[in-house]
Amino acid sequence: MYAVVTGGSRGIGAAVVKQLAQDGYDIVINYRGNHTAAEETAAVVREHGREVELLACDVSDRIAVKEALTALVERRGAPDVLVVNAGITKDGLLALMGDEEWDDVLAIGLGGFYNIVRPLIGPMLQRRTGRIVTMSSVTGLMGNPGQVNYAAAKGGLIAATKSLAKEIAKRTLTANVVAPGLIDTDMTRDLPLDHLKAAIPMGRLGTVEEVASAVSWLCSPGAAYVTGQVLNVGGGIYM
Ligand code: NDP
């Protein structure tokens, strides 16, 4: 059994990698450029006695992703689990937003979904088994000022995942979304956290392990009949 996790070098993705390794999966860690972080995460996978492969590749680079994943499937067959997690923020009010801030967030957050899933879905369907989990955000559900670009990517990811879930259900594959609230990672480190925490009913940020645990459950045998769902991990920020 093996899992592909995009953006698996750091933050939420790294926690997902470690949890899935603990669950018994060999792992392919995709990331963009932070080799040190990817190696550190890979070391933990090995400590769990699982095999690990590093796949440094920008998920917005369609040609590179297709080449890498086609070669992966030829070598190892279709993955059992695919976690589409890579994403970025480039926050700013729409009235002041630059084209690049719009394009980059959409190209990685939503374009990355297509680029990653497209080469893998055929082989996964042929094998008639598999779990897909996409990493959205509560912003994709409720919107957030300063994040029109990010909300568009994350909302699009939810719609795409639900549609995919309907396409693949007959072959017993599931596709679900995890929508974290504010989680303690590099992405949120520079935000005004004291102010933001006041809006979270639980009064604290979530941990990466708490998000990984939701992904793990969606990939477990117990979740076989759960598909097209959005699982919020947000301390009650959006109910
Ligand atoms: P981090 O910034 O901590 O980590 C981002 C990860 O994505 C890294 O592994 C990074 O690789 C990788 N990555 C970034 N761009 C690309 C790319 N173009 N191609 C391949 N990999 C890429 O983010 P988080 O862990 O906080 O977030 C992970 C996901 O969860 C994102 O989709 C984010 O939108 C979502 N999320 C996060 C929340 C939070 O509060 N943190 C809340 C809601 C959703 P490298 O190390 O090489 O740079």
**pLDDT by residue, tens only, the chain of 239 residues:** 999 999 999 999 999 999 999 999 999 999 999 999 999 999 999 999 999 999 999 999 999 999 999 999 999 999 999 999 999 999 999 999 999 999 999 999 999 999 999 999 999 999 999 999 999 999 999 999 999 999 999 999 999 999 999 999 999 999 999 999 999 999 999 999 988 999 999 999 999 999 999 999 999 999 999 999 999 999 999 98
CA 51 to ligand 1 center in whole angstroms: 23
Query: Which residues make beta-bridge pairs with 83?
Result: 5, 133
The amino acid at residue 95 is: A
Question: How far is Cα 175 from Cα 121, in angstroms, rounded to an integer?
Answer: 11
Question: How far is Cα 212 from Cα 84, in angstroms, rounded to an integer?
Answer: 13
In terms of residues, how long is the chain? 239
Question: How far is Cα 90 from Cα 80, in angstroms, rounded to an integer?
Answer: 32
CA 129 to ligand 1 center in whole angstroms: 27
Ligand 1 in contact with 60 (CB < 6 A)?
A: yes
Ligand 1 in contact with 88 (CB < 6 A)?
A: yes
In order of 39, 42, 59, 161, 197, the CA distances from 150 in angstroms are: 28, 29, 16, 16, 20
Ligand 1 in contact with 182 (CB < 6 A)?
A: yes
Rg (CA), the chain: 17
Ligand 1 in contact with 147 (CB < 6 A)?
A: no
- Token digits for 162? 């639900």
How many other CB atoms are found less than 10 A from the CB of residue 97?
Answer: 16
**∠ Cα 222 223 229 (to 5°):** 160
Residue 150 annotated as catalytic: yes
Question: Ligand 1 atom closest to Cα of 108?
Answer: 18
Question: How far is Cα 239 from Cα 237, in angstroms, rounded to an integer?
Answer: 7
- Token digits for 56? 């440094």
